[in-house]
Each structure stands twice: as C-alpha cells, then as structure tokens.
A and B are shown apart, each in its own frame.
Chain A
C-alpha cells in the first residue's frame, strides 16, 4: 500500500510540476504572440477575417513543407541526444518525429491543387529566416543536447493547437475543400495526438535531468519566436510565389 501510495504521490508531484510548466509556457508564448501581432506586417492574415491573399498562402505552404524537411534533421539529432539524456523521453519523441516525417505529404497534396508540384517546391529556396533558425537550433544542440529541438516543437505545437484550425477554416472559405484536405487532416492529427502535452512533459523531464531552469528553455523559445517574426516579415515582402504558381 505504501509503495502504491508513494507512486501516486510522486505522479501528483510530477503533474504539479507539469502544470507549472504549462502555465509558464502559456505566459511566455502569449507575450511572444502579442509581440508577433505588434511587430509583423499582416501578422494575423492567415487566421483573421480579411480576404485571403492566395499567393501569400501558397508560399507559406511551400515554406511549411521546407520547414518539415529541414527540422527532420534536428529532430533526429535530438533523438540521439535524448537516448542518453532521458530514455523515456526518447521513446515518446521517436514516435512523434516518425509521424512528423510524413506530414510533408499532407501539405504537398494541397499544393498540387494549386498547381505546385514537389519539384517546384524543391526549386523554391527556403527563406533565409528559416535557414538561420535551423542553423541556430543545431548549434545550440551542441551545448544543450535535445532541448533546443524540443523548444522548437513546443513553440510550433503551442501555436498550431490554437491557430492552425482557424487558418484551415479561412482557407476553406476562400478556396475550396479540395485545397485544404491535407491541412485539415494535419490539424485533426495534431488534435487527436495531443502533441503539446507530450512535448511539455518531455521538456520538463529534460530540464530536470540536465539540471536546467526554465530560463534556458525561455531563452530558446524566445529565440525561435524571433526567427518566426523574421519569417513572416519575409513572407509578407516576398513575391516569388507569383513566378512559381
């Protein structure tokens, strides 16, 4: 009985830590969200009530595919670190990143509806902001192990959980159901899999194992937020999509 009770108690203590981390993440992410809305031109274009700029949307989807391709590498490096840092986290992370490897197919499927083939996606260079972000994450992993890749996942999943569904609704209204089959499937997949709580759990475990505070995670998350502000600013100024489509 004592062993069972002790196990339950430890679970609750861990849950309490996870709750604190969840609240912490909400606080940091909301402050970054406000900064994004204040500083980036047309920041809410993909989710607000304005008429959808199709070129902007298509170029964003091309970059989404690129980001999936490019982050597959840092996800794999993170797995190698995580196997050493925390094997239980590595189990969860491996299943997660295996799923993520296939998510490009969903968005590529939608791009075909816009007349953009996979070869045209490959021929469209990713934005400098995307390349810089990936370079930073990979460099940070040299000193911080898996945590920078997990911070990226936290940032993306937090936003995706709140805003990707709105983007699909807007795109459907401005395009057609056929143009968003992949994006819609992706949203449903993320909601069913509940990625964000799993990422928060891994974050907590890695911080604990490495003896790091949330200050380290916050620095990483805010750095990723800055790269995404740069990305959406580049996207707003870009006109290359008109040549591709």
Chain B
C-alpha cells in the first residue's frame, strides 16, 4: 500500500472504488453514493466543530440533568 494511497482523502476517492467488487451500503447506486459523500465531506467540518447549526433562541429553559 503506497503512502499516497494511505493519505488519500475521502473526497479524492477514485471511481475505481465505487466500481470495485467491494460491497458498500449503497454500492448499487454509485452516483447517489458519491453525491452523498461529497455533501458529507462538506458538512463534516460543521458537524465536528459545533452542533449549533441554528441557534436563534435568546432565552429558554434552564433544565439540568
């Protein structure tokens, strides 16, 4: 396994992966899968940096668990 391959980012995945015999959850629909992945890559940063996607309420309940 080359270092280049190891460092390959998800968004750079070549088509050969999608066309390989490896079964993925949606391997039957590679185009939809790739579109989903691209969106996931775009959203990944916002997901991991904060879960406050929207935060419009100024006041609210102080409830603790």
Contacts and interface: CB of A to CB of B under 8 A. Distances in A.
Interface string A174-214: 00000000010010001000011100100000000000000
B61 to A, nearest CB: 5
Interface-centre pick from B5, B6, B54, B57 (highest chain A CB count, 10 A): B57
Contacts of B6: 1, 4
Interface of A: 1-6, 8-10, 12-13, 15-16, 18-19, 22-23, 26-27, 30, 33-34, 36-37, 43-44, 46-48, 60, 64, 67-68, 71, 100, 103, 107, 152-153, 155-157, 159-160, 162-164, 166-167, 183, 186, 190, 195-197, 200, 228, 232
A200 B25 CA distance: 22
Given A19-B40, A107-B64, A163-B61, 9 more contacts: A1-B6, A5-B17, A23-B53, A26-B55, A153-B65, A162-B55, A163-B62, A164-B63, A228-B63
Contacts of B41: 12
A160 to B, nearest CB: 6
B65 A157 contact: yes
Interface size range on B against A: 20 to 34
Nearest to B14: A5
Contacts of B54: 23, 26-27, 30
Interface-centre pick from B8, B55, B65 (highest chain A CB count, 10 A): B65
B14 to A, nearest CB: 10
Interface-centre pick from A153, A159, A186 (highest chain B CB count, 10 A): A159
Contacts of A6: 22, 24
A16 B60 contact: no
Contacts of A167: 62
B22 A186 contact: no
A19 B59 contact: no
Contacts of A68: 64-65
A60 B63 CA distance: 9
B40 A159 contact: no
Nearest to A159: B61
Given A2-B20, A6-B22, A48 B59 contact: yes
Given A9-B10, A12-B40, A13-B25, A19 B47 contact: yes
A33 B60 contact: yes
Given A44-B59, A160-B64, A162-B55, A15 B37 contact: no
Interface string B1-13: 1000110101001
Contacts of B59: 37, 43-44, 47-48, 163, 166
Query: What 4 A-B pairs come out closest when comparing CB atoms?
Result: A44-B59, A167-B62, A16-B40, A156-B65
A166 B5 CA distance: 48
A151 to B, nearest CB: 12
Contacts of A22: 47, 51, 53
Contact of A18 (B1, B24, B47): B47
